[in-house]
Amino acid sequence: MSFTFRGKANHVSDIELAIDCSDDIIHARHQGREFATHAGFSSSGVMLVGAAVSELARNIFLHARRGSIRLALISADGRAGVRIIARDDGPGIPAVKQTAIASAANPDRSDLGLCAIKQLFDGFELVSSTGRGTIVTVEKWMS
């Protein structure tokens, strides 16, 4: 496992986490919470960011075995937030739209977490190509 901090010494602007073993899921959740805390999120925002990072890391490990998660500070129109990008080179998700619809209708699906993230975050994009991997990008703005 590895992680890289970028930015000024006292102000982390982004962090990248490698996901390649099950322990990385726990570490990623912790780093996500810490990142959101330092960014100024409320306690509920910190928990939400941590949960999303954990779910995305879990998906990477379960479906692709390895990948990375990047957290970055974002700002627009006087607002601040965080962008989370989960990337892997795994098998990809065939029929992305059908998968999302099926997940919402079937609580037993393993990818239900993506639907919850989509509903709880302010921005959501999933790009996947069979045999080439998946990139999930989510954004959360501070209230």
Query: Residue 125's domain is classified under what CATH number?
Result: 3.30.565.10
- Mean pLDDT, range 5-14, rounded to an integer: 55
Quick: pLDDT tens for 29-74: 999 999 999 999 999 999 999 999 999 999 999 999 999 999 999 9
Across the range 107-119, mean pLDDT stands at 72
Give percent above pLDDT 70 in the chain: 80
In degrees and rounded to multiples of 5, residue 32 shows phi and psi of -60, -45
Q: How far apart are CA 21 and CA 67, in angstroms?
A: 10
Number of domains in the chain: 1
Average pLDDT value over all residues in the chain: 85
End-to-end CA distance of the chain: 33
For residue 56, the enclosing domain spans 3-141
Separation of alpha carbons 118 and 23, rounded Å: 25
Is-contact 19 70, C-beta < 8 A? no
Residue 7 pLDDT > 60: no
Distances (CA, A) of 73 to 14, 62, 128, 129, 134: 6, 27, 24, 27, 22
Residue 1 has what pLDDT?
Answer: 38
CA 54/CA 26 separation, integer angstroms: 7
